[in-house]
Copies of this chain bind each other. A is one copy, B any other.
């Protein structure tokens, strides 16, 4: 392996790129179900179809895999919030944000669980990013929402807690999937549960629970 220049991405062969992808995919599976400390390099190596020393040739330390995974994750994970924009109708904008977040919980549950695992244990590896990048982004979007409130387009509430509640309700369907399935039972716990959730959440966020009248 040729030495990489400081600060630039290391040059990699075709095989290195492919194998690294293979490892990251396997690691996502393993980390998201067992947590960082609960996962072993052997498990990841086996899931990736290679030997442990071979894996360690591509990632020198277990932490490096986790770190790489985390960095990639965060971009895609925050994309829906980044898209929340001031251009459209506020209620429509919020509704589609909720829908996108719910789709991510449906399509990328492992990513959601990986993230949840990290936060649950105190976010030891990404706390700086939460206080920096994430806070900045949320503050920015909270300002947008506040504008909507001042313009009378949506009801006045706390924009930060509004964002929290959207995160919580949507990610719940990925992170607590086992519980959701168990409670809904065999008949209602199937593929339709996400559409039911979408309908429910839309109604909740728009109208709340008070009866019409």
Contact = CB atoms under 8 A, between A and B. Distances in A.
B135 A183 contact: yes
Given A182-B131, A207-B210, A121 B38 contact: yes
A119 interface: yes
B208 A204 contact: yes
Interface in A10-37: 33-37
Interface stretch (A49-57, A62-70, A165-173): A165-173
Residues of A contacting B: mostly: helix
Contact of A206 (B130, B135, B138, B208): B208
Given A134-B182, A155-B207, A161-B197, 18 more contacts: A35-B35, A35-B38, A35-B120, A38-B38, A119-B176, A120-B176, A123-B178, A131-B185, A135-B183, A152-B213, A154-B211, A155-B211, A165-B200, A168-B171, A169-B169, A204-B204, A205-B208, A207-B210
Interface of A: 33-38, 91, 94, 113, 116-117, 119-123, 127, 130-131, 134-135, 138, 152-155, 157-158, 160-162, 164-165, 167-169, 171-173, 175-176, 178-180, 182-185, 188, 196-197, 199-201, 203-213
